Structure 1
Amino acid sequence: MYDFFYLQEGYCHEIAGETNFKASCSVSLLRKGEFSILIDTGSPWDVKHIMEKLHDIPNQCDIIDIVVCTHGHVDHIGGIAYFPNSTIAVGADMAKLGNIYLSDYSIKERDYQVSEGAFITFTPGHTNEDISLIADVKAESVKRVLPFLETTSSTVKVAFVGDLFEKENDNDSWQELSSIPDTQNFHRERIKKLVEVIVPGHGPPFVVTKT
């Protein structure tokens, strides 16, 4: 089971009087013993904040074992250059130190087991190459972020989905940002059936309910 550290809550806001908008993504760290996974890195302008948050985590090693960027948008990959010693997945590509691309990362064909209790699955739609990470997380660490979570289990299955879900209750908005809405909807429904909690790209984590 992994410990869950929520480093940044994603957001997306309109700028008054402009057609532009201000946005950055949720950033999460999972850790089991000395093995750690960073999910998304935020934008280039988030780097200082994210690195400070990482350094504040007790006993966190300097090296992140794997960085999982759910897709290639600026607000999700802006910090990957700060993790040159990590294995890095961006959508359907995975590489490690030395510019070595990993040929066994055939994510479009099958899920990729990162370690016991955590795997990457292909969830395109928002872009053509989105991925999500699903992990078994200690309930106590999820409750630090979702104190109202009701569970009698010590483990919660959590999906870190990037912009597959923009935020909780996004049914009236995600389609306009989607490259392939039908495909994205398929994977939204698939992921909801697999997990109890979803960490979306631009809002706080939420509990999956029947409604």
Structure 2
Amino acid sequence: MYEVFVIKEGYSTSEGPGQQKACGTCTLVKGPHNIIVDTGNPWDKDTILQGLAKHDILPSNIGYVVCTHGHSDHVGNLNLFSNAIQIVSYDICVGDQYLMHDFKEGIPYEIDDDVEVIPTPGHTGADVSVIVKGTAYGTVAITGDLFECMEDLENPHLWQQSSEKPELQEQNRADILQMADIIIPGHGSMFQVPDSCKRQMQMVLLFEEFSESFQISTFSQKALE
């Protein structure tokens, strides 16, 4: 079974017009494969090392590093994990060897039966999220900036203002809300997916299925006429 620990909680605060302080969340997935998701900014080295030490893990014990996208507050300490397979957005490499994987076609990268890296573009054109199944919390989605924070469930402006592809991001957010029990966002505390979100999405899906069925029925009736 995997365990999931937030080593550093991300944040984002406005400092006035045109100014912002931000750093991405750094998460440890501990289990059959030790995984780091997002590596903070270049000034987070000591925080990451101390966080790993609390779990008796050295950087050399990390098998995979996943950076959800290429912004500097998510990729700042990749060089700590030179032994790891590194996944940065849609690129996968081991040292200077790049491995081909077609995230663009929506194909997940499976680390094992319980952990996969899935494409979730929107914030940028090549975001990924890490899905960890069977934890004590249920299914955990580590999403980077697909979700900025829990508050963006009620205030979409929080994620839309920095989205390159908002319609695509909205769809991927909806997919994650359906599959996950817990979300670890890019710039806030981990949170449980509210039941209301799942019910709302189920209603939307049921409405779409009803609409499709109605359209088919109407088409068939016209054909009979």
TM-score normalized with structure 2 length: 0.81
Contact 2:60 2:83 in 1 (8 A): no
Q: Which secondary structure does the structure 1 equivalent of 2:151 belong to?
A: coil
Tell me, what secondary structure is at the counterpart of 1:45?
coil
User: Quick one: distance in 2 between partners of 1:7 and 1:159?
Assistant: 16
Q: Bigger relative contact order, structure 1 or 2, given CA contacts below 8 A and separation 6+?
A: 1
Q: Which has the higher helix share?
A: 2
Choose from 138, 142, 148 the match for 1:166.
Answer: 148
What amino acid is the match of 1:68?
V
User: What's the counterpart of residue 4 of structure 1?
Assistant: 4
**Structure 2 residues not aligned, in runs of 5+:** 197-225
How has the CA–CA distance of structure 1 residues 41 and 61 changed in structure 2, closer, same or farther, with 3 Å as cutoff?
Answer: closer
- Is 1:183 equivalent to 2:168 in the alignment? yes
Match of 1:208 in 2: 193
> Which residue matches 1:147?
none
Alignment of 1:22-37 (within 5 A): 22-33=21-32, 35-37=33-35
Q: CA RMSD in A?
A: 1.4
Distance in structure 1 (CA, Å) of the matches to 2:30 and 2:86: 16
After TM superposition, give the deviation of residue 114 of structure 1 in Å: 0.9
Distance 2:182 2:9 in 1: 15
1:84-129 deviations in Å (ceiling 9; x for gaps): 11100001000002x00012x2222211101120001100000000
Contact 1:3–1:137 (CA under 8 A) maintained in structure 2: no
Q: Distance in 2 between matches of 1:138 and 1:128?
A: 29
CA contact (8 A) 1:4 1:137 kept: no
Over 2 Å off, 4+ runs = 58-63
Aligned equivalents of 1:187 and 1:107: distance in 2? 14
Structure 1 Cα separation of the partners of residues 59 and 120 of structure 2: 30
Cα 1:42–1:68, aligned 2, differ >3 Å: closer, same or farther? same
**How many pairs does the alignment contain?**
192
User: What residue is the counterpart of 2:42 in the other structure?
Assistant: 44
Identity over aligned pairs, percent: 36
